[in-house]
């Protein structure tokens, strides 16, 4: 049976969440929307259209969506050459690959942004595949991206662990019946991640790597069974 290590990227492997907050805040401000950065932060991790619906409401003028998204993308693109990985992100992916896990990235990032993120993380040799919201009808928190990632890894849900930093990650994994691990590196409180379904929470990739044997990854490897909490 193949085992799948599924990873979100922004805020989980790369230190980018607050860059997204700033870019969305500026794009919204330029379009006349006064949205608090705190609220934007809580929406990071949703696909662009869903993020705007979350922040501006379903009754917003959706004709603005494309302009707002393009504004964010243009601003964020200026950071592509400066994106920073989180400490030990690459080492974590390589260690899981060494232990026989199939590493799949599960992200809402589009192609150019994903390329920049992969360059920042610098662990392509350990990555089996990538699943994005573009590959499915609904992005996180729907389970569709996780289901797609499992197909790419050719692994069942019971032999997978999902690592993310937002409540949307935890909800998507839980709805797909995949054990989920939360990281605090994206800025979301531990209690929110646990309430959304996280079976274990670590500070950042380095912390998870240091405790890998006692994490859901280690327990799955030691028992050969589903990674129970």
pLDDT given at position 35: 98
Structure tokens at 69: 């998204």
Residue with tokens 């909490």: 229
What's the CATH code, domain 17-78?
1.10.150
| 164, 13 Cβ separation under 8 angstroms | no
Question: Which DSSP symbol is given to 14?
Answer: B
Closest by Cα among 104, 106, 105, 109 to 47: 109
Q: Which CATH architecture has domain 3-16+83-223?
A: 3-Layer(aba) Sandwich (3.40)
Q: Nearest to residue 123, comparing CAs of 207, 18, 14?
A: 14
pLDDT of residue 229: 46
Domain residue ranges in the chain: 3-16+83-223, 17-78
- Token pair 């707002």 in the structure block, residue: 68
Distance CA 88, CA 207 (A): 9
The C-alpha atoms of residue 185 and residue 62 are separated, in whole angstroms, by 32
Helical segments of the chain, H only:
17-30, 37-43, 48-56, 65-77, 89-98, 111-121, 144-153, 167-175, 190-195, 205-210, 216-223
Give the containing element (helix H, strand E) for 224.
Answer: none
Please tell me whether the peptide bond between 141 and the residue prior to it is cis, using omega within 30 degrees of 0. Answer: yes
Locate 151 and state its tokens: 């197909």
Residues of the chain under the 50 pLDDT cut: 229
In angstroms, the CA 15 to CA 118 distance is 12
């Amino acid at each position: 049976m193949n085992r799948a290590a599924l990873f979100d990227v922004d805020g989980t492997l790369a230190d980018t969440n607050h860059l997204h907050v700033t870019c969305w805040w500026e794009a919204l401000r330029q379009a006349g929307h006064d949205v608090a950065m705190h609220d934007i932060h809580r929406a990071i991790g949703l696909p662009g259209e869903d993020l705007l619906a979350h922040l501006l409401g379903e009754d917003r003028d959706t004709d603005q969506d494309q302009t707002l998204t393009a504004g964010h993308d243009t601003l964020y693109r200026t950071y592509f050459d400066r994106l920073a990985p989180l400490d030990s992100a690459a080492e974590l992916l390589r260690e899981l690959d060494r232990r026989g896990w199939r590493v799949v990235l599960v992200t809402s990032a589009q192609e150019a942004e994903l390329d920049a993120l992969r360059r920042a993380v610098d662990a392509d040799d350990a990555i089996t595949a990538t699943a994005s919201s573009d590959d499915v009808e609904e992005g996180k928190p729907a389970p569709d991206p996780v289901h797609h990632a499992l197909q790419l890894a050719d692994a069942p849900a019971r032999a997978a662990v999902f690592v993310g930093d937002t409540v949307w990650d935890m909800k998507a994994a839980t709805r797909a019946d995949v054990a989920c691990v939360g990281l605090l590196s994206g800025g979301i409180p531990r209690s929110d991640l646990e309430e959304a379904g996280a079976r274990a929470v670590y500070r950042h990739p380095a912390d998870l790597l240091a405790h890998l044997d006692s994490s859901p990854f280690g327990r799955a490897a030691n028992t050969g069974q589903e990674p129970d909490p």
